Amino acid sequence: NFMLTQPHSVSESPGKTVTISCTGSSGSIASNFVQWYQQRPGSAPTTIIYEDNQRPSGVPDRFSGSIDSSSNSASLTISGLKTEDEADYYCQSYHSSTWVFGGGTKLTVL
């Protein structure tokens, strides 16, 4: 079964930059688009990156996505960290017409 693996947690200070990885278990992660979702405590998820590196309207350009085929991974980078960025982040892609989510990464901004 295709899986996406994320670090369980990351932490960084306000104003700094953090990168969250999402590694595919098999095949090429570049074969299908990767999305990133943000979920703040007690709220529903929202999309912050779609199609590897696109931002929906309203998402600040502090958020960016990329693909690294050499490591078969996708990355979410958040620059100029704010306390409001503290949330869970999930990557997502597709495999055989079904959707696969990573296990999620808890970002702490301290």
Partner 1 sequence: EVQLVESGGGLVQPGRSLRLSCAASGFTFDDYAMHWVRQVPGKGLEWVSGISWNSDHIDYADSVKGRFTISRDNAKNSLYLQMNSLRAEDTAFYYCAKSMRLLEWLSDWGQGTLVTVSS
Smallest distance from partner 1 to CB 59, Å: 12
Residue 12 exposed, middle or buried by CB count within 10 Å (0-12, 13-18, 19+): middle
Site string for partner 1, 13-42 (x = CB under 8 A): -------------------xx-x-x-x---
Please say whether the beta carbons of 109 and 14 come within 8 A.
yes
Q: Which helix (H) or strand (E) holds 20?
A: strand 18-24
Among 18, 73, 104, 109, binds partner 1 (CB under 8 A): 104
Among 81, 90, 107, 109, binds partner 1 (CB under 8 A): 90
Among 15, 56, 60, 80, binds partner 1 (CB under 8 A): 56
Residue 16 in tokens? 């700094």
DSSP E strands: which ranges in 41-86? 46-49, 63-68, 73-78
Q: Which residues bind partner 1 (CB under 8 A)?
A: 32-33, 35, 37, 39, 43-47, 50-51, 56, 90, 92, 94, 97-104
